[in-house]
Amino acid sequence: MLETQQLTKKFKDTIAVDDVSLVLRQGESVGLLGPNGAGKSTAIAMISTLMKPSSGDVKLNGKSVLKKPGEMRRVLGVVPQKIALYEELSAYENLKFFGRLYGLSGNKLEQRIDYVLELVGLADRKKELVKNYSGGMQRRVNLAAAMMHEPEVLIMDEPTVGIDPQSRNHLLETIRKLNQDEGMTVLYTSHYMEEVEKLCDRVYIMDHGKVIAEGTKEELKAILSDQETVLIDFDQNYPELFTKLSEIEGVQQATAEEHSLKLIIPKGTRLLAALFHEAERYGAQVVNVNVQTPTLEDVFLRLTGRKLRD
């Protein structure tokens, strides 16, 4: 339905997006995962026709949208990272304006406003000014504004940044409903791994402007299928011990965090004996040892050598 071909954006000497090719099939939910500065927002700006690429193409149903963006703009709903609303107006007035931009009027406009307000759970507070809403409520209106014209594809650029857990859950549940119950195609950008794991069928991982991996969640985790993650908790922080343990033969990745150490090792590696031996030498008490199957976070760590939120 929607694809990008070798999309590239250069700003003077910086390449923000480098040769990115994505595919969104009708009805699927795709995650675009990457740390801050990975190029996700720039890629979205180009897909949504807000910014022209330096090279490459964006196609909707096989047709390029770069010269004629009209059709793309009609089928696309974009939820920006910023809360792009008129805060001195009410939610109802904001939605009325965004609906009018898409040619809605009269009863149809009113019905659509009622529907999206119901969807985001703000029907009973529609007359309140946006500036008086909580951050989470503002995010919900931000989503509702993108939904006014019944878009076929919904692109969301980190829609849950800075909101409380309750609003976040509400928002994620709304997006899940839109995708699964209404068949809306979703491109979801985030650096929150658990959101992408919860919502998306397929995932593209971006770093330094490039797509470094793509596939279903299972396919991506299979990158680490011959490995396992061992999480060891200690009674306190032992920097020297952590360094020693990360040098044990077979350890592929080690990440220390206060009282704990996360190691990625090949399956079948005999680690425990060496672990307890070294712990005793340093007088450290092992509180907990947990062997996990890899998460997308581990995949990202393995591919880039850094954490998503670095």
Partner 1 sequence: MKAVFLLQWRRFYRKPLLVLAMFGLTVIFVSVTAAGGQSGPQMIPVYADESMNNQQAQTWIERLNGEEQFQFELMPESEARSYVAEGDVSQAVNLLEADYRLLVGREDPARFALDSFLRRIYSEELRLENAEQTTPGIRAEMESALSDPALTLSVESLQGEEDSFQYNGQLQLLFGMTLFFVIYTIMFSLVRIVDEKRTGTWSRMIISPVRKWQMYLGHLGYSFLIGFSQITLIFLLFRFAFGFELGDRFWLLIAIAACYTFSIVALGLLIISLITKPQQLGAVIPIVATGMAMVGGAFWPIELVTNEILLAVSKALPITYGLQALTSVAVYGNGLKAVAIPLLLLLGFGSICMAIAIRLMEWRSAS
Residue 58 found at the interface with partner 1 (CB under 8 A): no
Q: Which of 10, 59, 73, 217 is the binder for partner 1 (CB under 8 A)? A: 73
Q: Under a CB-based contact definition with an 8 Å cutoff, are residues 116 and 123 in contact?
A: no
The helix/strand/coil state of 125 is helix
**C-beta closer to partner 1: residue 52 or 267:** 52
Q: Minimal CA–CA distance to 134: which of 177, 170, 178, 174?
A: 170
Query: Among residues 97 and 115, whose Cβ is nearest to partner 1?
Result: 97
Q: Are 71 and 65 in contact (CB under 8 A)?
A: yes
Nearest residue (CB) to partner 1, 86 versus 276: 86
| CB-nearer residue toward partner 1: 103 or 305 | 103
Phi, psi dihedral angles at 86 (to 5 degrees): -90, 105
Q: Does residue 97 interact with partner 1 by CB under 8 A?
A: yes
Shortest distance, CB of residue 96 to partner 1, whole angstroms? 9
**Residue of 8, 73, 1, 2 lying closest to 211 (CA atoms):** 8
For residue 231, the cross-strand partners are 262, 290
Site for partner 1 in 19-48 (CB under 8 A): 48
Examine residue 88 and tell whether it contacts partner 1 (CB under 8 A).
Answer: yes
Is residue 83 a contact residue for partner 1 (CB under 8 A)?
yes
Q: State yes or no: residue 145 binds partner 1 (CB under 8 A).
A: yes
Q: From the list 3, 93, 128, 297, which residue makes contact with partner 1 (rule: CB under 8 A)?
A: 93
State yes or no: residue 234 binds partner 1 (CB under 8 A): no
Residues 6+ apart with CB under 8 A from 227: 252, 264, 265, 266, 267, 294, 302
Residue 12 CB, shortest distance to partner 1, in Å, is 9
Cross-strand partners of 261 = 232, 256
DSSP string, 212-251: EEEEEHHHHHGGGTTEEEEEEEESS--HHHHHHHHTSTT-
Among 25, 55, 84, 235, binds partner 1 (CB under 8 A): 84
- If binding is defined by CB under 8 A, does position 138 make contact with partner 1? no
Q: Smallest gap, in angstroms, from Cβ of residue 48 to partner 1?
A: 5
Counting Cβ atoms within 10 Å, is residue 285 exposed (0-12), middle (13-18) or buried (19+)? exposed
Q: Which stretch binds partner 1 (CB under 8 A): 1-9, 68-76, 113-121, 214-222?
A: 68-76
Shortest CB 20 distance to partner 1, Å: 19
Beta pairing partners, 230:
263, 291
Residues that bind partner 1 (CB under 8 A): 48-50, 52, 70, 73-74, 76, 78, 80, 82-89, 93, 97-98, 100-103, 129, 145
